């Protein structure tokens, strides 16, 4: 037994010595981000960069499960990654001690304005991203055609259309209410419609200065929309998750899915390559102009302020966002809508329609970025309780107001 | 043959038939229960053979097209054999330390019941109650300081600390089944404590050791959170399960790859368990025939 | 037969003490390093207000504990939930595991294979378990309902707060049953064959044999399994996170999940640490009581 133990220890030490030996060299960049679905694309990017800067080693680590917890653990253990991920907007203030302001660099200048605004505090640019998302209602054009209707841009039309669709034997909505983040995606459209300055509105909520009932768009329209979705949606609304929604739309069972956006297109196509994907905004009221899509980045990558390899990291980011390779990488390798100017846009159905709608009616701001996911997760839970019927609308509003202050009230 | 004897033998026959029928019914019931119990696992394996779109459309159906390429893709992506070696090292180091240190401690704690040993017993067992999430941050800090993080063998050593409470608890509880008289006769024969333990007591604990080994191998081999904190940084130090999780995203999970990766990750430990089962039974049979 | 030279009692006692320390010291050091030190350090944070990331936690003394005692309805709800869960979990796990272990230690063919199969759920990763079971509860039950028409399949097992408790319990028991089965098998096989024989010669039939003879001798196994199921159910986390994430609407938060939410999701790491210290004390008291109770009822071999 003892002999076995010592042999094993010796073996283990040999192995670890071997791995240590390989670790020298010049600059080393540690990337730890979420979004493992883009891992292949990012690895391709890293390989391409190797040809430009061969003596830079990039360690790329990604995980989705528990990412924020892991990031916090690493930061606290003194291992803040050189590039790390958070949500855009408000979460900057949470990580401010660690994120680098790279205003004035080519990378910062290359960012689209809509992206830059949610990455900045004043003039300081604290983040970037490689995915500019579209948020809206994804629907099945074939079903709408069969029912002889156009996509509704007012709430009254929507309610009427639901009847027609249901009469034809289809399920108007698949709602995905099991997921907490579906609610924030829907709610942000109503925030945008409720005020000309949604950022300021959210700030007021965080300070406890206003109530939901002060804003009919939130108090009435939003809840009416949710009620409609429950009425014409899945029979067990709190059980459907993202996979369920995709399955329902992809197999032609449901006409529309809620709380989603550009990211579902690939999965839908893999279920049914022939599916005709339609994309539009949320009919929040009876004013068609308010039925807008939302575009922008809800995630942000940040650079570690006190990194040992700050310069090398900055070079890499500049390459990512401004080089010729970088500019085509978004569409060709990663298949996402780029966040920088002059870059190629992929020809996906949602991107194309999203851009058309934006050109026509403008796009809403990414209002979810005005709060952190801490709040959003609790918000999702409160709405689930409402959908499940365990609390009333007023109770839900009261809890929302309270939690907004409790979780985000004292932030900088 | 008298009538009474005939009646008796008929009764005996009936009883025998009854027993056989009972056994058959029991076997059938066990089979059904097992199948029901295993059904979710079967689902996992079946779905690992499906192409992505079939998983999204119907999880419960058998594959219409079999996609064994899920497995080849995943094994290549994961650098399977490298990670397999990592798993082996971590698990082997972990198990050895856990078994050695826990059994030693449990032996003394059971044989010598003093206030001191009672305290030590509580001291060693209590940490089982600490939820891992509570200590994640401070654990990483501590492990960094003593250089046990970031390497495969360091992680193996970490498992010693995590595994000892439960293993010591189990060893302690089963130590009672070995009569003290055996110790005493060994001491009379002039054996030291160490020799008594190594040569006599420990071999008698084979089934318990086998149990602890099995439980801990299954745990360490398939563990996720601790390796995620400690060895996820470099592709050369990862474990199988960590890599399998790379296929799980929040908004786009590639279920066909995730499932296939999970299957190939846990398969070795399942085979190990199947193999080791024989030792649990064998060891016990030998032990119970002792004089 | 005595040896002629026996050491004096004082020396004997001291070398015995040295031995005791030598045998237990490695275990104690390991446990201190990996568990006690991180725990105590994290206890320091219970006295601070900190969002988990900023460089300077703010020392606030016992304010966190005051917050908890003066009104944390969510924490209380989570405690009640966990208590209920633990009760049913211990009952179900132990009864089922013992029953199955008894059956599985009879020598019928393929018993090895069956034993192994029962253990597989224990090692499946939680994400996969959550995914598969979600489908069973939703699609699977839907199909069963179409097939049989029984109302029970039509309930919303994951969408209704009350039912979700049972769903989580079922999955939790299912997942770890193999663990307890293995322990009970080890215990059953340690029951000496001659005791069983003596009992059957005395005329006891199968059931009497089991309850009068085997069960008392299973003392150590029962203590082990009850204690482990108690500890594991009080710490339940992964199952719930994978299956419902605490939903629907926050109905299935266990104590550890609630602590996790407070510390990492709400960014109140100090408050979360305070809750976890409090919870640790509660769990310690309960487990010590249970352990004393069961140990006193064990039969010496």
pLDDT digits (tens, 9 = 90+) for C65-106: 888 888 788 899 999 999 999 999 999 999 999 888 887 776
Minimal CA separation from B24 to chain C, in Å: 10
Q: Are residues C216 and C284 in the same domain?
A: yes
Per residue, what are the HEC states of chain B? CCHHHHHHHHHHHHHHHHHHHHHHHHHHHHHHHHHHHHHHHHHHHHHHCCCHHHHHHCCCCCCCCCCCHHHHHHHHHHCHHHHHHHHHHHHHHHHHHHHHHHHHHHHHHHHCCCHHHHHHHHHHHHHHHCCHHHHHHHHHHHHHHCCCCCCHHHHHHHHHHHHHHHHHHHHHHHHCCCCHHHHHHHHHCCCCHHHHHHHHHHHHCHHHHHHHHHHHHHHHHCCCHHHHHHCCCCCCCCCHHHHHHCCCCCCCCCHHHHHHHHHHHHHHHHHHHHHHHHHHHHHHHHHHCCC
- Return the CATH number at A86: 3.40.190.10
CA–CA separation, A248 and B127 (whole Å): 47
Task: Kindly give, in sequence order, each residue whose CB lies less than 8 Å from that of residue B183, ignoring residues fewer than 6 positions away.
Answer: B111, B196, B200, B201
In a domain, A182, yes or no: yes
Helix (H) or strand (E) holding A410: none
Cis bond upstream, residue C233 (ω within 30):
no
Of how many residues is chain C composed?
301
Question: Is the CB of residue A277 less than 8 Å from the CB of residue A138?
Answer: yes
Q: Are residues A128 and A152 in the same domain?
A: no
CA–CA separation, B131 and C231 (whole Å): 10
Which residue, A307, A340, A373, sits at the end of a domain? Answer: A340
pLDDT of residue B257: 84
Q: Are residues C74 and C50 in the same domain?
A: no
Which residue, C38, C58, C78, sits at the end of a domain? Answer: C58
What angle do helix axes B206-221 and B255-288 make, rounded to 10 degrees?
170
Q: Are residues A154 and A218 in the same domain?
A: yes
Q: Are residues A82 and A122 in the same domain?
A: yes
Q: Which residues of chain B does C19 touch, with a Cβ-Cβ cutoff of 8 Å?
A: 108, 193
In a domain, A8, yes or no: no
Instruction: Tell me whether strands C48-49 and A254-261 are parallel, antiparallel or unpaired.
Output: unpaired
Minimal CA separation from A177 to chain B, in Å: 14
Question: Is the CB of residue B41 less than 8 Å from the CB of residue C174?
Answer: no
pLDDT of residue A17: 44
Question: Is the CB of residue A130 less than 8 Å from the CB of residue A144?
Answer: no
pLDDT of residue C182: 82
What are the counts of helices (DSSP H) followed by strands (DSSP E) for chain C? 15, 2
Q: Are residues A263 and A168 in the same domain?
A: yes
pLDDT of residue A62: 83
CA–CA separation, A49 and C278 (whole Å): 51
Nearest CA in chain B to A243: B56
Profile chain A (412 residues) by mean pLDDT over runs of 10 residues.
52 45 62 84 90 88 81 83 89 85 88 83 86 91 91 92 92 90 93 90 91 91 93 88 87 91 86 90 90 88 89 90 87 85 84 88 87 90 90 92 85 40
Domain ranges, residue C29: 9-58
What angle do helix axes A67-76 and B132-145 make, rounded to 10 degrees?
40
Q: How many Cβ atoms sit within 10 Å of the Cβ of residue B27?
A: 17
In a domain, A306, yes or no: yes
CA–CA separation, B199 and B189 (whole Å): 13
CA–CA separation, B214 and B277 (whole Å): 9
Tokens of B38: 């295993």
Task: Kindly give, in sequence order, each residue whose CB lies less than 8 Å from that of residue B117, ignoring residues fewer than 6 positions away.
Answer: B108, B109, C20, C24
CA–CA separation, C15 and C21 (whole Å): 10
The residue with tokens 């005493």 is B184
Question: Is the CB of residue B232 less than 8 Å from the CB of residue B244?
Answer: no
- Return the CATH number at C225: 1.10.3720.10
Q: Are residues C18 and C157 in the same domain?
A: no
Residue C29 has pLDDT above 50, yes or no: yes
Give which of A380, A357, A32 is closest to A187, Cα–Cα. Answer: A380
Helix (H) or strand (E) holding A256: strand A254-261
* Mean pLDDT for the stretch of residues C174-200: 77
Minimal CA separation from B265 to chain C, in Å: 10
Q: Are residues A368 and A267 in the same domain?
A: yes
In a domain, A11, yes or no: no
C139 and B58 within 8 Å at the Cβ level: the answer is: yes
Q: Are residues A111 and A138 in the same domain?
A: no
C182 has a chain B CB within 8 A of its CB: yes
Q: Which residues of chain A does B253 touch, with a Cβ-Cβ cutoff of 8 Å?
A: 37, 243
Q: Are residues A237 and A287 in the same domain?
A: yes
Give which of C106, C221, A14, A35 is closest to B173, Cα–Cα. Answer: C221
A390 and C53 within 8 Å at the Cβ level: the answer is: no
Minimal CA separation from C180 to chain B, in Å: 10
In a domain, A3, yes or no: no
Torsion sign, CA atoms C61, C66, C68, C73: negative
Tokens of B226: 């601790």
Minimal CA separation from B220 to chain C, in Å: 10
Burial of A36 (0-12, 13-18, 19+ CB in 10 A): buried
What angle do helix axes A181-194 and A198-206 make, rounded to 10 degrees?
110
Q: Are residues C134 and C41 in the same domain?
A: no
Smallest Cβ distance to A72: which of C52, C161, C248? C52
Question: Is the CB of residue B99 less than 8 Å from the CB of residue B213?
Answer: yes
Task: Kindly give, in sequence order, each residue whose CB lies less than 8 Å from that of residue B92, ignoring residues fewer than 6 positions away.
Answer: A8, B156
CA–CA separation, A283 and A190 (whole Å): 9
* Mean pLDDT for the stretch of residues C180-187: 84
- For A255-289, b/e burial (b = at least 16 CB within 10 A) is bbbbbbbbbbbebbbbbbeebebbbbbbbbbeeee
CA–CA separation, C66 and A298 (whole Å): 37
Q: Are residues A81 and A46 in the same domain?
A: yes
Question: Is the CB of residue A290 less than 8 Å from the CB of residue A364?
Answer: no
Q: Are residues A114 and A52 in the same domain?
A: yes
Smallest Cβ distance to B56: which of A35, A181, A267? A267
Q: Are residues C131 and C271 in the same domain?
A: yes
Q: Are residues C80 and C215 in the same domain?
A: yes
Which residue, C37, C58, C79, sits at the end of a domain? Answer: C58
Smallest Cβ distance to C3: which of B97, B190, B269? B190
Burial of B74 (0-12, 13-18, 19+ CB in 10 A): buried
Task: Kindly give, in sequence order, each residue whose CB lies less than 8 Å from that of residue B70, ignoring residues fewer than 6 positions away.
Answer: B48, B49, B50, B51, B256, B257, B259, B260
pLDDT of residue C206: 61
Structural domain count, chain A: 2
Q: Which chains touch B (3 or more CB pairs under 8 A)?
A: A, C
CA–CA separation, A80 and A33 (whole Å): 11
Top pLDDT among C301 and C250 is at C250
Instruction: Tell me whether strands A28-33 and A83-87 are parallel, antiparallel or unpaired.
Output: parallel
In percent, the amount of chain C with pLDDT more than 90 equals 21
pLDDT band at C199 (very low <50, low <70, confident <90, very high): low
Residue C110 has pLDDT above 80, yes or no: no
CA distances from C251 to A383, A402, C152, C246 (A): 13, 19, 20, 6
Q: Are residues C224 and C92 in the same domain?
A: yes
Q: Are residues A180 and A31 in the same domain?
A: no
- A303 forms beta bridges with A83
Question: Is the CB of residue A372 less than 8 Å from the CB of residue A94?
Answer: yes
Q: Are residues A96 and A218 in the same domain?
A: no
The residue with tokens 């960012």 is A111
Complex ipTM tops 0.95: no
Q: Are residues A221 and A139 in the same domain?
A: yes
CA–CA separation, C129 and C140 (whole Å): 15
- Render C55-105 in DSSP notation, one character per residue: S-PEE-TTHHHHHHHT--HHHHHHHHHHHHHHHHHHHHHHHHHHHHHHHHT
Q: Are residues C188 and C48 in the same domain?
A: no
Residue C7 has pLDDT above 70, yes or no: no
B250 has a chain A CB within 8 A of its CB: yes
Q: How many Cβ atoms sit within 10 Å of the Cβ of residue B17?
A: 10
Q: Are residues C163 and C189 in the same domain?
A: yes
Q: Is A207 helix (H, G, I), strand (E, B) or coil?
A: coil
Smallest Cβ distance to B152: which of A16, A36, A247? A16
In a domain, A201, yes or no: yes
Question: Is the CB of residue C81 less than 8 Å from the CB of residue C254?
Answer: yes
Torsion sign, CA atoms A66, A72, A78, A82: positive
Q: Are residues C122 and C47 in the same domain?
A: no
CA–CA separation, C168 and C249 (whole Å): 15
Inter-residue long-range contacts of A52-55, CB under 8 Å, 24+ positions, other chains counted:
A52/A319, A52/A323, A53/A312, A53/A315, A53/A316, A53/A319, A55/A25, A55/A26, A55/A27
B61 has a chain A CB within 8 A of its CB: no
C186 and B135 within 8 Å at the Cβ level: the answer is: no
pLDDT of residue C295: 74
Task: Kindly give, in sequence order, each residue whose CB lies less than 8 Å from that of residue C11, ignoring residues fewer than 6 positions away.
Answer: none
A25 has a chain B CB within 8 A of its CB: no
Burial of B218 (0-12, 13-18, 19+ CB in 10 A): buried
A178 has a chain C CB within 8 A of its CB: yes
Domain ranges, residue A244: 133-296+354-408
Q: With a cut of 70, which residues of chain B have pLDDT below it? A: 1-2, 233, 249-252, 277-291
Q: Are residues C229 and C83 in the same domain?
A: yes
Torsion sign, CA atoms C162, C163, C168, C173: positive
In a domain, A144, yes or no: yes
CA–CA separation, C283 and C75 (whole Å): 15
- Render A99-144 in DSSP notation, one character per residue: B---TTSHHHHHB-HHHHHHHEETTEE--B-S--EEEEEEEEHHHH
Structural domain count, chain C: 2
C53 has a chain B CB within 8 A of its CB: no
pLDDT of residue C112: 66
In a domain, A15, yes or no: no
Q: Are residues C281 and C212 in the same domain?
A: yes
The residue with tokens 């119970």 is B288
Question: Is the CB of residue A12 less than 8 Å from the CB of residue B156?
Answer: yes
For C55, list phi and psi in degrees, rounded to 5.
-75, -20
Q: Is A150 helix (H, G, I), strand (E, B) or coil?
A: coil
pLDDT of residue C204: 54
Interface test with chain B among A1, A72, A73, A83, by most B beta carbons within 10 Å: A73
């Amino acid at each position: 037994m003892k002999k076995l133990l010592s042999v094993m220890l010796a073996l283990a030490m040999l192995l670890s010595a071997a791995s240590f030996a390989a670790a020298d060299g010049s600059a080393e960049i540690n990337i730890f981000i979420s979004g493992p679905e883009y891992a292949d694309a990012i690895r391709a990017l890293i390989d391409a960069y190797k040809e430009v800067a061969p003596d830079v080693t990039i360690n790329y680590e990604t995980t989705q499960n528990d990412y924020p917890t892991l990031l916090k653990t690493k930061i606290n253990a003194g291992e803040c990654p050189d590039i790390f991920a958070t949500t855009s907007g408000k979460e900057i203030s949470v990580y401010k001690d660690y994120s680098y302001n790279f205003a004035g660099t080519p990378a910062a200048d290359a960012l689209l304005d809509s992206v830059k605004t949610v990455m900045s505090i004043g003039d300081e640019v604290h983040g970037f991203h490689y995915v500019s998302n579209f948020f809206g209602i994804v629907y099945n054009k074939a079903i709408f055609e069969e029912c002889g209707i156009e996509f509704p841009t007012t709430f009254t039309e929507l309610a009427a259309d639901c009847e027609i669709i249901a009469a034809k034997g289809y399920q108007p909505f698949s709602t995905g209410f099991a997921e907490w983040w579906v609610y924030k995606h829907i709610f942000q459209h109503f925030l945008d419609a409720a005020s000309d300055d949604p950022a300021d509105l959210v700030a007021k909520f965080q300070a406890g200065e206003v109530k939901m009932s002060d804003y009919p768009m939130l108090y009435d329209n939003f809840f009416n929309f949710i009620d409609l979705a429950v009425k014409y949606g899945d029979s067990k609304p709190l059980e459907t998750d993202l996979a369920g929604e995709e399955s329902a739309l992809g197999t032609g069972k449901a006409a529309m899915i809620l709380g989603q956006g550009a990211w579902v297109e690939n999965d839908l196509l893999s279920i049914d390559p022939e599916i005709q994907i339609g994309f539009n905004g949320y009919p929040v009221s009876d004013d068609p102009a308010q039925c807008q899509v939302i575009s922008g980045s809800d995630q942000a990558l940040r650079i570690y302020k006190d990194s040992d390899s700050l310069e090398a990291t900055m070079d890499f980011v500049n390459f990512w966002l401004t080089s010729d390779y970088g500019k085509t990488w978004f569409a060709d390798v990663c298949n996402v809508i780029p966040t920088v100017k002059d870059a190629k846009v992929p020809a996906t159905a949602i991107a194309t329609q999203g851009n058309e709608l934006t050109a026509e009616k403008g796009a809403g701001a990414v209002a979810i970025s005005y709060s952190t996911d801490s709040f959003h997760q609790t918000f999702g839970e409160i709405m689930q309780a409402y959908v499940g019927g365990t609390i009333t609308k007023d109770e839900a509003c009261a809890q929302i107001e309270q939690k907004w202050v409790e979780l985000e009230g004292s932030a900088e | 043959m008298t009538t009474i004897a005939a009646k008796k033998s008929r009764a005996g026959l009936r009883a025998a038939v009854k027993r056989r029928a009972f056994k058959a019914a029991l076997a059938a019931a066990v089979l059904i229960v097992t199948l029901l119990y295993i059904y979710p696992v079967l689902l996992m394996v079946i779905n690992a053979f499906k192409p992505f779109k079939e998983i999204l459309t119907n999880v419960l159906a058998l594959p219409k097209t079999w996609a064994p390429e899920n497995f080849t893709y995943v094994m290549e992506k994961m650098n399977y054999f490298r990670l397999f070696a990592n798993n082996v090292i971590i698990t082997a180091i972990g198990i050895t330390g856990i078994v050695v240190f826990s059994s030693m401690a449990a032996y003394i704690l059971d044989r010598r019941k003093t206030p001191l040993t009672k305290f030590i017993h509580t001291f060693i067992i209590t940490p089982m109650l600490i939820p891992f999430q509570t200590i994640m941050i401070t654990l990483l800090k501590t492990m960094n300081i003593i250089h046990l993080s970031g390497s495969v063998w360091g992680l193996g050593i970490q498992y010693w600390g995590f595994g000892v409470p439960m293993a010591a608890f189990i060893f302690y509880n089963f130590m009672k089944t070995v009569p003290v008289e055996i110790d005493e006769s060994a001491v009379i024969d002039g054996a030291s404590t160490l020799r008594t333990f190594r040569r006599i007591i420990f071999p008698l604990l084979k089934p318990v050791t086998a149990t602890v080994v099995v439980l801990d191998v299954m745990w360490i081999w398939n563990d996720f959170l601790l390796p995620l904190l400690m060895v996820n940084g470099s592709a050369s130090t990862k474990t199988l399960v960590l890599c399998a999780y790379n296929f799980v995203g929040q908004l786009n999970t590639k279920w066909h790859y995730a499932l296939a990766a999970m299957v190939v990750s846990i398969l070795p430990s399942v085979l190990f368990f199947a193999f080791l089962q024989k030792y649990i039974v064998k060891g016990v049979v030998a032990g119970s025939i002792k004089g | 037969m005595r040896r002629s030279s026996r050491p004096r009692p004082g020396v004997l006692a001291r070398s015995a003490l040295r031995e005791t320390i030598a045998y237990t010291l490695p275990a104690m050091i390991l446990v201190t390093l990996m568990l006690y030190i991180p725990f105590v350090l994290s206890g320091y944070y219970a006295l601070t207000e900190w969002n988990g990331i900023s460089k300077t936690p703010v020392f606030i003394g016992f304010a966190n504990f005051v917050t908890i005692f003066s009104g944390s309805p969510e924490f209380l709800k989570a405690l009640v939930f966990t208590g209920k869960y633990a009760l049913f979990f211990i009952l179900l796990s132990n009864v089922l595991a013992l029953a199955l272990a008894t059956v599985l230690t009879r020598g019928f063919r393929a018993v090895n294979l069956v034993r192994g199969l029962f253990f597989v759920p224990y090692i499946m990763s939680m994400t996969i378990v959550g995914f598969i079971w979600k489908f069973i509860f939703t699609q699977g039950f839907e199909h069963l309902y179409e097939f049989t028409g029984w109302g029970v399949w039509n309930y919303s097992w994951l969408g209704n707060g009350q039912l979700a408790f049972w769903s989580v319990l079922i999955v939790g028991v299912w997942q770890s049953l193999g663990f307890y089965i293995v322990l009970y098998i080890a215990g059953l096989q340690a029951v000496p064959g001659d005791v069983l024989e003596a009992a059957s010669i005395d005329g006891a039939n199968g059931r009497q044999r089991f309850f009068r003879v085997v069960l008392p001798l299973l003392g150590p196994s029962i203590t082990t399994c009850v204690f482990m199921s108690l500890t594991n159910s009080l710490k339940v986390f992964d199952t719930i996170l994978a299956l419902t994430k605490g939903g629907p609407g926050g109905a299935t938060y266990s104590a550890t999940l609630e602590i996790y939410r407070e510390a990492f999701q709400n960014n109140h790491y100090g408050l979360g640490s305070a809750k976890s210290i409090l919870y640790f004390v509660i769990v310690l008291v309960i487990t010590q009581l249970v352990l004393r109770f069961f140990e006193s009822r064990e039969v010496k071999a």
